[in-house]
């Protein structure tokens, strides 16, 4: 029976050579810094949607508060999920607008998106 070589990292469990230090906490800290740099806000939007009795609404167009309006090219199946970047929850739709995939949320009759806040 072979023994396990090296001591496991207390954070991630990776097996380390004698004297080796794991960089998992460094990677974690770098990831947290990157998340801190990117800030998001909950932005309520106007949506034109098709409503069929017994089914979830299907968004076809959205309008941002600044007046810009976009056709939604593709709508994925909605699922109950949380808006992890801005808080809140509701039906989360994965939508494609201008070849970019985004999340659009529907909660208690209101639509919102997770909008990236531009650095000043």
- When mean pLDDT is compared across 9-23, 62-76, 87-101, the lowest value belongs to 9-23
Beta strands (DSSP E) in 38-99 are 40-50, 58-63, 69-71, 74-75, 79-82, 89-97
Q: Provide the 10 A C-beta neighbour count for residue 3.
A: 4
pLDDT at position 46 is 98
Q: What pLDDT, in 10s, does the model give residues 102-120?
A: 999 999 999 999 998 876 6
Q: What pLDDT, in 10s, does the model give residues 26-54?
A: 666 666 665 556 789 999 999 999 999 99
Contacts 24+ apart (CB under 8 A), 66-70: 70/97, 70/98
Q: Give pTM, 2 decimals.
A: 0.67
Mean pLDDT of 60-80: 96
Residues 68, 90: Cα–Cα separation, whole Å = 24
Q: Is the dihedral of CA 20, 22, 27, 30 positive or negative?
A: negative
Mean pLDDT of 83-89: 89
């Amino acid at each position: 029976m072979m023994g396990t070589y090296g001591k496991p990292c207390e954070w991630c469990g990776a097996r380390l050579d004698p004297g080796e230090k794991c960089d998992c906490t460094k990677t974690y800290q770098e990831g947290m810094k990157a998340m801190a740099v990117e800030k998001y806000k909950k932005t309520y939007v106007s949506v034109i949607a098709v409503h069929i009795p017994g089914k979830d609404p299907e968004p076809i167009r959205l309008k941002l508060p600044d007046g810009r309006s976009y056709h939604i090219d593709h709508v994925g199946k909605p699922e109950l999920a949380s808006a992890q970047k801005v808080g809140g929850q509701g039906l989360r739709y994965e939508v494609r607008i201008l070849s970019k995939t985004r999340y659009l949320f529907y909660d208690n009759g209101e639509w919102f998106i997770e909008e990236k806040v531009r650095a000043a």
